[in-house]
Structure formats: structure tokens, C-alpha cells
Structure 1
Amino acid sequence: MKKWAVAATAALLLLSGCSDKNKANGPGPKEPVKEVEKVDQEEVTKELPYHYPLTGVGSETKTDGRAVAVMVNNHPKARPQSGLNKADIVYELLAEGDVTRFLAVFQSEKPENIGPVRSARDYYIELAKGLDALFIAHGYSEEAKKMLEAGYLDNLNGMVYDGTLFKRSSDRQAPHNSYITYENVLKGATEKKYSMEQSPPEFKFLSEDESKSVTGDDAKSVMVSYSTGSTFDSIYEFDDSIGKYKRYADGVETIDLVTKEPILLDNLFIIETTHEVINNVGHKKIDLKSGGSGYLLQMGKVIEVEWKNDNGLIVPVRNGEVVPFVQGKTWVNVIPTNPGLQSSVSFNVN
């Protein structure tokens, strides 16, 4: 019994020592407890209740509101421009000679400042009319002036509001220095009693899942050339890391003048149509009604399409069906089919 008592005493002392040691050193490290986050599958797949008509992008809030279409200068002295990074759609067409101009259409985003604003041509007016947009320009051709003065569509023009709604920048020389703020667009619309509530007609869009399986030939970049020189060459390069196209003009990336934000695009739509020079000034007649051949680039892929004018909207068509756009921003290049006009489209698969 004595031996057992000694043994028991020793055991107690040993346990007491271990206990004291644990108290001194604190409790040992514990295995981290992994919390399993519960995902509401219904919430993940739930579609947003609203979407923007010109981009297809979803929204928690209503997306009503009239589109605003602005004539934007693309002369080298007008670059970089202001506000183009906020445009839902930009149409690029020839004005005089080899010089292109933009019709920048805003609805989902409202830039603080837009410009330089340039003069109107009748075919840009037709595009704005198809979108039920408020048309903004500074100046006009003879044919465009007749259309605007006849009330063909609601418009604000710098020939009337130079120095009031339209402001001149001291950093550039005329005619490359006329700008208008979005605040002044709304102010002018109120003054003219133009309604800004009616939303534009909707384009057709792929769902986000459908966009991941876009098919076509590989085309990581495309160059659209309007002349033998490079001044009005547009190069679009697909960035795999962000799934969007970046734009370059004459080798320089297209960015916003103030914010330096790049133009990022989801759809490139290139259409061919007839161009006719109608006077000695070089004004053109461009057919935007008859349809023709084209290319549609999305997610680094390209397909050949036809284009048609669907109640004023220029849309891509294949096998008789409208081809949906990827949700996001779109740039439309209109190029001549005429052999005498130096335009071309070239693709690079790398």
C-alpha cells in the first residue's frame, strides 16, 4: 500500500506540474474553425428587374430616360475628346474627305462634359432620329440645316447657343473647342420644352452566360482604315484580362481628356454601304437604309453578318435573324463599299 501511495503521490505531482506548465504557457493553438458561407442560389441567378435599352446592362433602379446624341469632333486637334468613355454607342462615319466624326449616344451614363462638339450632317441626324434622341451639334451642312429648321427632330445647336449652353475652351482653337455640359443639355431641353422621359428603342442582347459562349473566328484585333494615311485609322485590341476592346486612333489609345479613362468596348460593329460625294465641298450622301455586308466582333471573335435598318436602328443580321449584342458598350464603324474611296478592314488573330 505504501508503494502504491508513493506512486500515486508521484503521479499527482507529475499531473500537477503539467497542469501548472499549461497554465503558465496558456492553452495550445486551436484548429481554425472554417465557416461555410451559405449561398442563396436563387439570389445568385436572380435577374435584375431593369436594364438599359442601349447596353442591356441590368439595374436595380428604373432605367427610363431619353437618349442624347452628340456630334463629336474627331480631328487630330480635337483629341483626346471628352465624354466618349460614357457613351452607350458611338457611330463613326466620314464627314468630308477622309475625316471621320462621331455621333456619341448617351443614356445609361451622363458625362459631366462632352466635346469638342462639331457640325451636323443629314445621315447623323437620321441615326439620332432612329434612337428618338435629343440631337446636339454645333453647325450644320445645308441639307442638315433644312432638316433641323423644319423640326425633323428635337435639337440644340451651338449656332444658336454659342457662349450660353455651349462654351469655348481656351486650350484649343475653333472649330475644335466647343463643349457642352450634360447639365446644359438638360437646361436647354427645359428651355425648349423637350421631354426627356421617353426611353429609346431597345437593342437585342445576350445574357451574361450566353456571352461566355460566343463563337466565331479568332480576331484579337482589327484595324479600320478610312484612307491611305493613318490619321483616321482605328485599331481595336481585345484585352483578355478584362474581356473588352481598347481603341486606338493613329496609334494612340483613345482616352478621356480629363479623367484619362480609356474607351472600353464590348461590341464592334463594322458595316459597309455606298457613299456618294454630292458637292464641291465634299459633303456626302451615305446610304443607311438599304442594308449590306458587315462584321461583328465580340469577346475576341468575329463573324460575318449583314446589316439592316430596323425602324431606324442599325442592327446585325445573320440567316434572317437579328444577332444580339454582348451587354455593354458598342462602337459602329460605317465604311464605304465604293472602290474609289480608300477604306479597308483587316484582322489579326494574335
Structure 2
Amino acid sequence: MNHRRRRLLAVTALTAAALLLAACAPTSTASPSATPRVTRSAEPTPSPTPTPTPTRVVQTAPLRGTVVQDAAALGPALSAKIDNHPDARPQWGLERTDIVFEELVEGGITRYVAVWHSDVPAQIGPIRSIRPMDPDIIAPFGGIVAYSGGQGRFVRMMKATDVHNAIHGGADDRFMYRTTKRTAPHNVIVEARKLRARYATLAPPAVQFLFAPRGHAPIFGEDAAGMDVRFARDSARSWRWDAGSAAYLRSQNGRADVDASGKRLRATNVVVLRVAIDWSYGIVPRTVMVGGSDAWISTGGRVIHGRWSKQSQTSPITLTNSASGEIRLAPGNTWVELVPTSGSISVVG
């Protein structure tokens, strides 16, 4: 009896000790509502999408055949009647033209129809009055024509085309002024860039001449040093090939022809057209531009004898060889000499 009692007391004592130890154990300080930490692998940071490089559209200047910046292939052509009287020389802007036409006017002297598109200077001039052949020359280019006026019948002929007429003394007079560096009437200057910007939404010109591919001059024709032409007794012009600059250098009446900056006038292509003259306007000669005749095309130090033709007022001039294939020019600027049948044309060299 005493033995069983001692075992019971021992068990009771051990149980009490276990409870006392449990009560004295330290408790956790974590809040029962704390969210357990979850370990996650790092998510990759997405790489930014690269901005695509704009693709430059290769543009070709329609009047030069050269590769140009996009803006230079847009916008309208600006044509102008440029004075070539000795008192008007040297002129402003001729060295930056795309195409120049030289035509016979009264008294055996010449004037220019100059066309700018891919490289328009700030000022051009001096400008003079319109003539009866000018609508046929300018209409294919569209855009704008600047001139100082003219006989009413000639002005009406020019206004009958789709070309915007900017006439000195008219609505666009704010783009023109008289320079003190020349005497009247050889002193009307056009602020070309401002005038063209005013009508920037007009369509660019159509291609006028075909150009050789890959920027090379055609390989056909005969080697020649250049061309000599004469419009009248006192209107002699010459062009000489300069291989160093790959251009033809211009002279008038035996003297180097320069612009207002002193630079020699030059052309990549010189196109000489034999033309008839209509005298139905009295003393004012009208170069007949719709039709065709002989042509001499100088480019790359060679001369090709062919034919020119123009089907209507708005159509461009077509140049063909003896096999009726169209002649291509070298990419660059072009001067077109409209030599009357009474004048002379000579291939040099």
C-alpha cells in the first residue's frame, strides 16, 4: 500500500514539473495576423522596344535627274523671265538653275526663261517682260512664273496656262523690289524662296528630259570640245567642255559669262535646238516651240546630233537619235539654246 502510494506521488510530481516548465517557456513575439514572407525569384525586366530608324525615300530631282533630299523633290517649279541685256549682267541666281532656255527677242539680243526647283536661291533677277513663245516653254513645268509685265496680249496668253503668274506690280509685288545695283528697267529682283513658299502647295514639275542611269553621261556621240552658236550678229555664245569640273563653261561674245557672285556659268548638258521664228507679232519674234527640227546634245565631252519634237504647249521636249531612240542626258543642270534658222550652230573640235 505504501509502495503504490509512493509511485502515485512520483507521477503527480513529474506531471506538475512538466506543467511548470511549459508555463515558464518564452512565447513568440510575432503577431498572429502577420503574413508569412514568401520568397520569389526575380522577374526579368522587359527590354525597351527600339525606335525604328526612319527609312529615307530616295528622291530624284525631276528637272536634274540627281538624287536629292526629300524636300528638294517637292514643291513647285519657279520660272522667271531673266534679262540678258548688257546692263543687266551679271544676273542673280542663274548658277543655281535646273534648266535655262535662251531665246531671241527684239534687236537681236536674247533673254532667258530660267527654271529653279531643286536649288532655289534667295534672290533671282533681274526679271523682264513676257514674250509670245514663253507660254509654250513654261507651261510643261507648271508652278509659278515671275515676270515684270508685258504687252497685254502676251500677258493674257501666259495667264491662259495653268501656271501661277507673279507679275511685278500685281498681287505678288511684296516678293519683288528694285535693286540700286542696276538701273531701270534692268533692276527688278524677286525674293524667290519667299515667293515659292507662298505657293508651296502647288504640284512639283513633271520630268522633262530623260537621264542616263547610275549618274553617268551617255556613251554615244562624237568627242567634241563644245559648241558655238549665234542668235544674231551681236549674239554669239560658246560652251567649252572642262573635264576637271565635268561641265561646259559658258561665254558670251568671247567673254567668260559669270553670275553676280563672280562664278562662271556652267552646265552639265547643253542642248541646242534649231527653231523657226514667227514674225506675225511685228518686231517681236516668236520662237516656234510646237513642232520639231534638228538638235545637238552636248554631254560628258561628247556631242550627239539628233532631233527635237514637242507635240503641244503642255508637252515636254523630246530628244531622239537617228534610230528614233530617246536621248538621255547626264544628271545635272541643262541649258537649252533656241537658235533660229537664220543663226549658226557649230560643233567645236
> TM-score of the superposition, structure 1-length normalised?
0.77
The alignment partner of 1:82 has SS state of coil
Match of 1:205 in 2: 211
Aligned sequence identity (%) = 25
Change (3 A) 1:95 1:141: farther
Match of 1:216 in 2: 221
Contact 2:228 2:237 in 1 (8 A): yes
CA distances 1:25-58 after superposition (whole Å, capped 9, x unpaired): xxxxxxxxxxxxxxxxxxxxxx982110000001
The Cα of 1:176 is off from its aligned counterpart by: 0.6
The Cα of 1:246 is off from its aligned counterpart by: 0.8
Please state if 1:285 is matched with 2:295.
no
Contact 1:64 1:199 in 2 (8 A): yes
Match of 2:4 in 1: none
Task: Give the CA RMSD over aligned residues.
Answer: 2.1
Q: Distance in 1 between matches of 2:159 and 2:335?
A: 29
Contact 1:214 1:298 in 2 (8 A): no
Match of 2:273 in 1: 271
> TM-score of the superposition, structure 2-length normalised?
0.77
Q: Which runs of 4+ in 1 moved over 6 A?
A: none
User: Match for 1:323: what amino acid?
Assistant: I
Match of 1:28 in 2: none
Please state if 1:347 is matched with 2:337.
no
Between 47-56 and 328-337, the greater mean CA deviation after superposition: 47-56
Q: Which consecutive residues of structure 2, in runs of 5 or more, have no partner in the other structure?
A: 1-55
Q: Distance in 1 between matches of 2:131 and 2:59?
A: 34
CA distances 1:155-182 after superposition (whole Å, capped 9, x unpaired): 1001426963221111221111111111
The alignment partner of 1:146 has SS state of helix
Q: Distance in 2 between matches of 1:105 and 1:292?
A: 23
Match of 2:66 in 1: 57
Contact 1:125 1:135 in 2 (8 A): no
Map 1:125-144 to 2 at 5 A. 125-144=135-154
Please state if 1:260 is matched with 2:247.
no
Between 150-159 and 269-278, the greater mean CA deviation after superposition: 150-159
Match of 2:183 in 1: 173
Q: Distance in 2 between matches of 1:159 and 1:334?
A: 29
Match of 1:304 in 2: 305
Change (3 A) 1:48 1:317: farther
Match of 2:231 in 1: 226
CA distances 1:294-335 after superposition (whole Å, capped 9, x unpaired): 110111111111001155211311222221111000000011
Larger Rg: 2
Q: Distance in 2 between matches of 1:61 and 1:150?
A: 31
2:338 to 334, 337, 340: 334
Q: Distance in 2 between matches of 1:140 and 1:321?
A: 39
The Cα of 1:149 is off from its aligned counterpart by: 4.7
**Number of aligned residues:** 289
